C-alpha cells in the first residue's frame, strides 16, 4: 500500500524520501526519482511531514516511541500521518507522545486496497485535530479521493475497524452464497449478476468478486495473489474484537467472521487475498 501511495506523491510533485525494508522497493523508488534512505530516521532530513504505512500496532509503536523512536528526532514543525490500521489505543498513545514533543499527529487509515492506492482513489478515515487535517489535506488529496474526519485521535482507527469488520462479513457471506448456488448447478457469473441486481448486492459481489473468472483484474482471477492478505484481515478482525470488549459492544457476526478467517488462515491461504475465503467453502474446510 505504501509503495503506490508514495508514487502518487511523486507524481503530484512532492519531494519524497522513502524507506522500506525491501531492497527491491528501495531500488524501484530510486528509479522513480525519490530520495532513498537506508534507515527510517534518514528520511527525516528537512522533512515537513512523515507518513507511515505499517502492518500492525507493534510496528507503529516501535517506529515512533522509545529511545530510538522517531518522535524524539523530529522537530515540532513536522506533522505525522500514520496510515496504518492499528488499535485505537496505540494511535492515541503515539499521538499523546507526539503532542508532548510539540508534534501534531493524525491517524489516517485507508480503504480502497492496492488498486485504490495505485489509482490514487483511496478513502482516508482521519482521527485527530481538525486543523491538522486541513494542513494535511493537500497531501492526502494526492493519494486519495475521499477524506473523512471521524473525530479525535484514534477515531480514524475505530471507523476503519468497523469498516473492515463489515467487509469481512459481506465477503464471507458472498463466498458462501456463491458456493451454495454453484453447488446446486448455477453458473457463478449468472448468479453474481442476479444478486448484484437484487437485494443481496454488496461491494464484495459487485467490485471484488471472489469467484475465479467472474470478474477481471481482481485477485480471485489471478489465483488470489495481490490485494489484501487474509492474515491482515484476520488481524483487523482481532482489533474489532478488542474494540468490542473495551466498549462492551456485541459483534456476533464479527466474531463469526473472525472464526472463519482464523480457520482459513491455518494453512497457506494466510498469504492469499482475503477473497480466497471462497476456497475454504469450495474445499469444505469451514464446518459449522
Q: What is the rounded CA–CA span in Å between residue 67 and residue 217?
A: 45
> Residue 243 class from Cβ within 10 Å (0-12 exposed, 13-18 middle, 19+ buried)?
buried
Q: How does DSSP classify residue 73?
A: G
pLDDT for res 178: 98
Are the beta carbons of 52 and 60 closer than 8 angstroms? yes
Q: Which helix (H) or strand (E) holds 50?
A: strand 49-52
**Whether residue 71 has pLDDT greater than 90:** yes
Closest C-alpha among 94, 91, 157 to residue 125: 157
Q: Which domains does the chain have, with CATH numbers?
A: 2-152 (3.40.50.720), 159-282 (1.10.1040.10)
Q: What is the pLDDT of residue 287?
A: 62
The predicted-structure confidence for 78-98, as pLDDT tens digits, reads as follows 999 999 999 999 999 999 999
User: Pick the catalytic residue: 160, 256, 279, 287?
Assistant: 160
Name which of 101, 99, 104, 96 is nearest 48 in CA terms. Answer: 104
Query: Per residue in 238-262, pLDDT tens?
Result: 999 999 999 999 999 999 999 999 9
Q: Using the predicted structure, report yes or no on whether residue 68 has a pLDDT greater than 90.
A: no
Burial environment of residue 145 by CB neighbours within 10 A (0 to 12, 13 to 18, 19 or more) = middle
pLDDT tier for residue 104 given thresholds of 50, 70 and 90: very high
Look-up: residue for cell 525519490? 34
Q: Is 288's pLDDT higher than 70?
A: no
pLDDT at 67 over 90: no
31: left (phi over 0), alpha (psi -120 to 50) or beta: alpha
pLDDT band of 210, cuts 50, 70, 90: very high
Q: Active-site residue 235, yes or no? A: no
Averaged pLDDT for residues 124-149: 97
For range 40-69, the mean pLDDT: 92
Whole-model pTM?
0.91
Summarize pLDDT for 157-166 with one digit per residue, the tens: 999 999 999 9
Query: Average per-residue pLDDT in the chain?
Result: 95
Per residue in 161-187, pLDDT tens? 999 999 999 999 999 999 999 999 999
Q: Identify the pLDDT of residue 284.
A: 82
Tell me whether residue 165 is exposed, middle or buried, using C-beta atoms within 10 angstroms of its C-beta: 0 to 12, 13 to 18, 19 or more.
buried
Amino acid at each position: 500500500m505504501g509503495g503506490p501511495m508514495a508514487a502518487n506523491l511523486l507524481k503530484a510533485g512532492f519531494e519524497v524520501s522513502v524507506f522500506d525494508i525491501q531492497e527491491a522497493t528501495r531500488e524501484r523508488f530510486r528509479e522513480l526519482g525519490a530520495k532513498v534512505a537506508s534507515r527510517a530516521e534518514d528520511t527525516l532530513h528537512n522533512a515537513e511531514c512523515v507518513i507511515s504505512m505499517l502492518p500492525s500496532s507493534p510496528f507503529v509503536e516501535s517506529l515512533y516511541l522509545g529511545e530510538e523512536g522517531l518522535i524524539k528526532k523530529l522537530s515540532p514543525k513536522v506533522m505525522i500521518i500514520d496510515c496504518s490500521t492499528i488499535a485505537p489505543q496505540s494511535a492515541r498513545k503515539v499521538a499523546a507522545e507526539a503532542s508532548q514533543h510539540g508534534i501534531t499527529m493524525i491517524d489516517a487509515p485507508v480503504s480502497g486496497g492496492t488498486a485504490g492506492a495505485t489509482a490514487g482513489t483511496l478513502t482516508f478515515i482521519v482521527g485527530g485535530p481538525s486543523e491538522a487535517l486541513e494542513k494535511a489535506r493537500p497531501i492526502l488529496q494526492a493519494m486519495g479521493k475521499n477524506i473523512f474526519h471521524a473525530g479525535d485521535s484514534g477515531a480514524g482507527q475505530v471507523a476503519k475497524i468497523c469498516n473492515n469488520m463489515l467487509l469481512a462479513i459481506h465477503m464471507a457471506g458472498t463466498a458462501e452464497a456463491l458456493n451454495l448456488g454453484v453447488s446446486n448447478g448455477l453458473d457463478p457469473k449468472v448468479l453474481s449478476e442476479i444478486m448484484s441486481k437484487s437485494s443481496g448486492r454488496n461491494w464484495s459481489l459487485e467490485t471484488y468478486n471472489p469467484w475465479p473468472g467472474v470478474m477481471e483484474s481482481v485477485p480471485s482471477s489471478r489465483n488470489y495473489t495481490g490485494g489484501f492478505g487474509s492474515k491482515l484481515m484476520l488481524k483487523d478482525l482481532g482489533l474489532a474484537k478488542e474494540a468490542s470488549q473495551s466498549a462492551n459492544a456485541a459483534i456476533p457476526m464479527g466474531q463469526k467472521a473472525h472464526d472463519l478467517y482464523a480457520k482459513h488462515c491455518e494453512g497457506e491461504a494466510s498469504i492469499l487475498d482475503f477473497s480466497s475465503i471462497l476456497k475454504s467453502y469450495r474445499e469444505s474446510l469451514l464446518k459449522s
